[in-house]
Amino acid sequence: MPLKYTSIQDEHLNVRKKVGIFDVSHMGNIFVRGRDAEKFISTLTAADASKVGVGMGAYTVILGEDGTIIDDEVFLHLDNEYMFIPNAGRNKDIEAWFREHAEGMEVEIEDVSQKFVIIAVQGPLSGECLSKVIDFDLSTLGLFACKELKKGNERLIVSRTGYTGEKGYEFYITPPEKGEQMFYEILEAGKEYGIKPVGLGARDTLRLEKCFALAGNEFSGGRTPLEAGLGWLINWEHEFIGKEALIKQKEGKYEKLSFLECIERGIPRHGHTVEKDGKEAGVVTSGTFSPCLKKGIAMAYIKPDYDGEEKFDIISNGRKIRARRVKPPFVKKGEC
């Protein structure tokens, strides 16, 4: 997946207003099967897998014993198996973590990351575009629903998921040559809807406008879901790895991910210091220029001493950029 095909801004706005197609095959695929699969997943993630029926998926976090995030992932509950989608380059680590904790359970773990192509089609016209290619009424899929459209040696799985904040779908195809063929079929069929291929650059600005966390940025340095604004993912009614550590953290003070909108010209970037009255108050984890808002935006961890503060300075190459804390997302539905 290249950084861009045309320009980041052009690709970004096309997804917000029309439709874009992404080759996200750098993401992983791990299947979990077996009699104890549901129990296994409930133990290894913050989700209660018993609440995720066949034909549904969930966004969750895999945690260490100390409650810190190992990875954030979507998993899909198919007919007789679950499919996890690890972040890029994390599939081997996640497979090893799963196997380490599978002892005593009847589960089968299979990393098929090299066997699948993953295509994301995102944007308000995604459904209309795909109706030209997919022999299935995608409008019947609610958010996080999934469906296996082809089985056997040639598999085609679709989920109502994405990383843009727009209506969209993700497809998981094997063998890989079928996925490549499908990519170009969608690109051709979508011409009348203005479809364009989208690179990593716009994928990042799209997720940032919607305040979606990125592994390696918002999760680096041993962050917990409570700190990363992902506490809503935790089902506290079941036992899972890291639960005790999170219960203890809830009782105290801790840094939280905040969302800063620049009120002066300037583009915040990862690693920039956040100050309040000349004192260090936090650090930027992700920052960019918002193509929709036409201003700088940032996600940053802010120290608990500044929980009630609204105005901050982001230090960029020695220059102060005034910013204010806002509620997520930066770009509301239909704003762009």
Q: HEC profile for the chain?
A: CCCCCCCHHHHHHHHHHCCEEEECCCCCCEEEECCCHHHHHHHHECCCHHHCCCCEEEEEEEECCCCCEEEEEEEEECCCCEEEECCCCCHHHHHHHHHHCCCCCCCEEEECCCCCEEEEEECCCHHHHHCCCCCCCHHHCCCCEEEEEECCCCEEEEECCCCCCCCEEEEEEECHHHHHHHHHHHHHHCHHHCCEECCHHHHHHHHHHCCCCCCCCCCCCCCCCCCCCCHHHCCCCCCCCCHHHHHHHHCCCCCEEEEEEECCCCCCCCCCEEEECCEEEEEEEEEEEECCCCEEEEEEEECHHHCCCCEEEEEECCEEEEEEECCCCCCCCCCC
Arithmetic mean of pLDDT, 230-249: 98
Kind of pairing between the strands at 168-174 and 155-159: antiparallel
Arithmetic mean of pLDDT, 245-266: 97
Domain boundaries along the sequence of the chain:
8-207, 255-336
Residue 51: pLDDT band with limits 50, 70, 90 = very high
| Cβ-based neighbour number of residue 77 at 10 Å | 20
Cα–Cα distance, 66 to 232 (Å, whole number): 18
Does pLDDT of 93 surpass 90? yes
Does pLDDT of 175 surpass 90? yes
Q: What is the mean pLDDT of the chain?
A: 97
Percent of the chain with pLDDT over 90: 96
CATH of region 8-207, choose from 3.40.30.10, 3.50.50.60, 3.90.1150.10, 3.30.1360.120: 3.30.1360.120
Arithmetic mean of pLDDT, 168-176: 98
pLDDT recorded at residue 124:
98
Does pLDDT of 221 surpass 80? no
pLDDT recorded at residue 334:
84
Tell whether the torsion through CA atoms of 262, 267, 272 and 278 is positive or negative: negative
Residue 67: pLDDT band with limits 50, 70, 90 = very high
| Superfamily classification of domain 255-336 | Aminomethyltransferase beta-barrel domains (2.40.30.110)
Arithmetic mean of pLDDT, 287-303: 98
Residue 30: pLDDT band with limits 50, 70, 90 = very high
Q: What is the per-residue pLDDT across 7-26, written as a single tens digit (0 to 9) for each?
A: 999 999 999 999 999 999 99
Paired tokens of 51: 């609440």
Arithmetic mean of pLDDT, 63-68: 97
pLDDT recorded at residue 74:
98
Tell whether the torsion through CA atoms of 202, 204, 206 and 209 is positive or negative: negative
Reported pTM:
0.96
Arithmetic mean of pLDDT, 67-86: 97
Better-scored residue on pLDDT, 71 or 220: 71
From residue 153, how far is each of 111, 115, 244 by CA, in Å? 16, 11, 43
Residue 115: pLDDT band with limits 50, 70, 90 = very high
Arithmetic mean of pLDDT, 19-39: 98
Q: What is the per-residue pLDDT across 139-158, written as a single tens digit (0 to 9) for each?
A: 999 999 999 999 989 999 99
Arithmetic mean of pLDDT, 162-179: 98
| Cβ-based neighbour number of residue 110 at 10 Å | 14
Does pLDDT of 1 surpass 90? no
Does pLDDT of 220 surpass 90? no
Arithmetic mean of pLDDT, 242-265: 97
